[in-house]
Structure 1
């Protein structure tokens, strides 16, 4: 296996920002302008990059240039390397007003739905050049947090969720914080004959259900609870997003289970009735997880503060509107 240090020493690292800009703009002239370099310099760099990668990277198609398949595959890795390089050489201070940091958070869809309503305006005001990418939690891993390709994982504070990420709660390589408490409630169409009424267990189980399901194969809180209690319901739909369930129940007999914060958020949009299911469910505390090695990074400290405040504000506003 080739030594990575030897590989780096054999490559002119000044080509990296030029490669990044060429991949972004797919245009030599435009890349030269953005880099404040001459067109001939960028053209010469492109020739060197083609030789290094053994690929044309940019090909002429009519009046425009297009990225090759190899170039398209390079884009996410090059962007991440540029970001990490910037972090490596930046000072220990972090000024969100001037920063152009790219953050990546893996989280549940319903957390994204709640938080972004508050996080968007706050970031535009406080960090106009900061970029935030939200991705689903299934498929995320401990390694991504340690490598810095992922900044934060937000998930229910349950053993199966920790296990799915390959992280142990007592693992010293990671830090975590429970920042939001929630519980699951049932929803149905507000105009249904049983709307506003309590359902007994038999009525509840005989109705068709729409159920959130995890794409990593692990059981959800709903599935675990039904199994533990020996109950069987008629599940008609299984969907990978909590945010789809309020839409599914409207105009039907269907019942769904969603986090209370999400139900209160969507009761203002959809005609849904919120009620407690006829059996006890565990609470769903949400936890933020990050790498211990990056615990004191000023930019990540700021990010956690932003998520914490956005979550608190979103939940407070949701409950206030419902009262």
Structure 2
């Protein structure tokens, strides 16, 4: 492809050429283009120089196409039609669109979101395939590497510049211990710090929001076990004297009151913010844009909706 030659082409001049070839009259072409006759005449002069051909010649009282112009006309119409298709917005119909979305969330998110989302999605967009993958510590990188399309999980204070974030829900932490735990009726800060804790950690290392908060106060807690999944943590709590802080909605839905005791944290913890994350590459994609709105509208917007 000769880029240098393409750079010299003025698309507007080609539009003028099309109208001139159709109308075969400078004044009528000017009226159709909403331009002055002198402006169309100047463009015609440039076109004649560009194609090294007069394009339109006098034939009696009218103008006629040269043989080169006659050869150009069908090619020009095809070119401009292709340009129009290129510039027109893509039509999107979820009922007929074929595509795929890769959604990353926690095991808790999968249990909460997918049973409600999948039936609705199958009805609204039957040819869209949904793949769910586990939440991992490097998911923001995987968004950038195009390995994941959408993430739903804990909000980030400073996501990378090319990552979009939309906060969709809030929750708060509550403590959870087994039913007959020594601290089942409540825990002081000193007792809390002395206990062993379970921490949900996708990569098995690092500090959680709670640990960062305690660190700012010059305190640390004992992390006895790190697990990647919420439900594994729940099973561990049920059979040990370890404690865990979990989202209140998770506790209300999945923690059996016959097996567990819920206690308040002995210090203030900021609310949990749940967000959608996606890469700038997908921001204007028709399927992705529709899917983000669909998830928000059906999972988060309604007051009775379950949260992560």
Give the TM bin, normalised by the shorter chain. Answer: 0.5 to 0.7
Does the C-alpha gap of structure 1 residues 243 and 213 become closer, same or farther in structure 2, counting only changes over 3 Å? same
Q: Contact 2:189/2:267 (CA < 8 Å) preserved in 1?
A: yes
Q: Secondary structure at the match of 2:186?
A: coil
Does the C-alpha gap of structure 1 residues 294 and 252 become closer, same or farther in structure 2, counting only changes over 3 Å? closer
Q: Contact 2:211/2:221 (CA < 8 Å) preserved in 1?
A: no
Does the C-alpha gap of structure 1 residues 298 and 246 become closer, same or farther in structure 2, counting only changes over 3 Å? same
Q: How does 1:1-323 map to 2 (within 5 A)?
A: 92-135=90-133, 136-142=135-141, 144-145=142-143, 148-159=146-157, 162=158, 167-168=159-160, 171=161, 173-195=162-184, 197-215=185-203, 217-268=205-256, 271-312=259-300, 316=304
| Alpha-carbon offset, residue 243 of structure 1 | 2.9
Cα deviation code 1:255-285 (max 9, x no counterpart): 1111222112212587322222101122221
Counterparts of 1:192 and 1:248, CA distance in 2: 13
| Alpha-carbon offset, residue 306 of structure 1 | 2.9
Does the C-alpha gap of structure 1 residues 191 and 217 become closer, same or farther in structure 2, counting only changes over 3 Å? closer
Counterpart of 2:38 in structure 1 is: none
Counterparts of 2:91 and 2:256, CA distance in 1: 41
Counterparts of 1:272 and 1:316, CA distance in 2: 25
Counterparts of 1:272 and 1:94, CA distance in 2: 49
Unpaired runs of 5+ in structure 1? 1-87
* Alignment coverage as a number of residue pairs: 219
Q: Contact 1:115/1:310 (CA < 8 Å) preserved in 2?
A: no
| Alpha-carbon offset, residue 318 of structure 1 | 5.2
| Alpha-carbon offset, residue 199 of structure 1 | 1.5
Does the C-alpha gap of structure 1 residues 311 and 230 become closer, same or farther in structure 2, counting only changes over 3 Å? farther
Unpaired runs of 5+ in structure 2? 1-85
Does the C-alpha gap of structure 1 residues 318 and 303 become closer, same or farther in structure 2, counting only changes over 3 Å? closer
Q: Contact 2:169/2:275 (CA < 8 Å) preserved in 1?
A: yes
Counterparts of 2:254 and 2:151, CA distance in 1: 24
Does the C-alpha gap of structure 1 residues 216 and 295 become closer, same or farther in structure 2, counting only changes over 3 Å? farther
Q: Cα RMSD between the aligned structures?
A: 3.0
